[in-house]
């Protein structure tokens, strides 16, 4: 079978650092085009918009949407209407109703739509899920902290309301937690800090409810200094599980079980190829629902200006 011809739409830091290498290493895909208004690598056809690609560009079978969140819905709808399979970077859209619309459109056209929650493909996730599958969860602490200046340099869109603010990265932690924990959960309260010169929160503290769990909290921070602090700590009736470094390292009761460099996006594209081949979709919106719960239950405070 010939490779799926794919176009990357939106060529920023993550597309260059993660998507392009993962596509190049996956024999099921051939990078046929790039759609961007910015700089793109040489040797690949470049278009300024999707309509230009579909009208004048090489034939493509699928697209990977790596654009800012606010633009994702319209571009995904355009690609589906053109008969293309779609991979959505996280979060898949700005609102749940947009995800539902895209799901229905893809199903009606028999196309694969994939919400690529890349943190769920971290090396320690599957083993952690197995360890917790029949455990009684006593408490959970989710921490997801990074320096936005390092991950989103010179990207003003990240501070627009539909980008979700600190939840643009915190949603990765929520996606990992929902994949690992044996029960469903819901955000029941949130405290969000909005700098006076920003329209989105840069820190968030969440109170979360899960049946049988005595305490479940989460803390997200975009103003974190030093190395990223991204960890899920779970106290169970059999001991303590720690899944940290974004899921690269797993320990149980202090014993290190796994410590492996992430290759999340290779697994993401492996999953996308399998979905296209089987004619299926994978459009889980649970982490986005948790973000909407956080905003709907939030106590908002204003803080000093945030400079980036």
Residue 217's CB is within 10 A of a number of other CB atoms, namely 14
For 73-105, the three-class secondary structure string (H helix, E strand, C coil) is HHHHHHHHHCCCEEEECCCCCCCHHHHHHHHHH
Strand 229-236 vs strand 298-303: parallel, antiparallel, or unpaired? unpaired
Separation CA 106–CA 279 (nearest Å): 11
For the chain, counts of helices (H) and of strands (E): 10, 15
| Set 84, 90, 145, 230: catalytic member | 90
Q: Which residues pair with 244 in a beta bridge?
A: 249
Phi/psi of residue 282, each to 5°?
Answer: -150, 95
Q: Choose among 144, 152, 188, 166: nearest CA to 303.
A: 166
Q: Choose among 186, 235, 248, 238: nearest CA to 211.
A: 186
Strand order from edge to edge, sheet including 229-236: 255-259, 249-252, 239-244, 229-236, 137-145, 215-221, 203-209, 186-195, 298-303
Is residue 37 annotated as part of the catalytic site, yes or no?
Answer: no
Instruction: Please enumerate in sequence order all residues whose Cβ is within 8 A of that of 241, keeping only pairs 6 or more positions apart, or say none.
Output: 128, 131, 132, 232, 233, 234, 250, 251, 252
Strand 137-145 vs strand 215-221: parallel, antiparallel, or unpaired? parallel
Separation CA 26–CA 58 (nearest Å): 20
At 121, list the tokens: 């493909």
**Catalytic residue numbers?**
90
């Amino acid at each position: 079978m010939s490779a799926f011809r794919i176009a990357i739409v939106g060529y920023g830091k993550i597309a260059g650092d993660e998507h392009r290498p993962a596509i190049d290493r996956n024999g099921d895909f051939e990078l046929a085009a790039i759609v961007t208004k910015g700089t793109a690598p040489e040797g690949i056809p470049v278009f300024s918009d999707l309509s230009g690609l579909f009208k004048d560009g090489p034939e493509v079978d699928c697209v990977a949407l790596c654009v800012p969140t606010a633009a994702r819905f319209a571009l995904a709808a355009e690609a589906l209407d053109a008969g293309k399979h779609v991979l959505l970077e996280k979060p898949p859209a700005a609102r749940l109703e947009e995800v539902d619309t895209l799901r229905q459109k893809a199903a009606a056209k028999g196309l694969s739509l994939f919400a690529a929650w890349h943190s769920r493909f971290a090396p320690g996730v599957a083993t952690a899920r197995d360890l917790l599958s029949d455990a009684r969860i006593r408490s959970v602490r989710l921490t997801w902290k990074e320096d936005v200046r390092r991950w989103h340099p010179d990207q003003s869109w990240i501070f627009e309301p539909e980008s979700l603010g600190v939840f643009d990265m915190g949603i990765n932690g929520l996606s990992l937690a929902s994949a690992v924990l044996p029960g469903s959960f819901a955000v029941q309260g949130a405290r969000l800090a909005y700098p006076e010169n920003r329209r989105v929160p840069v820190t968030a503290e969440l109170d979360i409810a899960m049946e049988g769990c005595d305490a479940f909290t989460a803390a997200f921070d975009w103003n974190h200094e030093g190395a990223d602090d991204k960890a899920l700590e779970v106290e169970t009736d059999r001991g303590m599980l720690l899944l940290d470094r974004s899921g690269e390292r797993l320990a149980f009761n202090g014993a290190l079980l796994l410590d492996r460099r992430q290759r999340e996006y290779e697994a993401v594209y492996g999953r996308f190829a399998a979905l296209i081949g089987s004619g299926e979709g994978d459009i889980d919106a649970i982490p986005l629902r948790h973000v909407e719960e956080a905003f709907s239950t939030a106590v908002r405070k204003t803080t000093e200006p945030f400079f980036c």
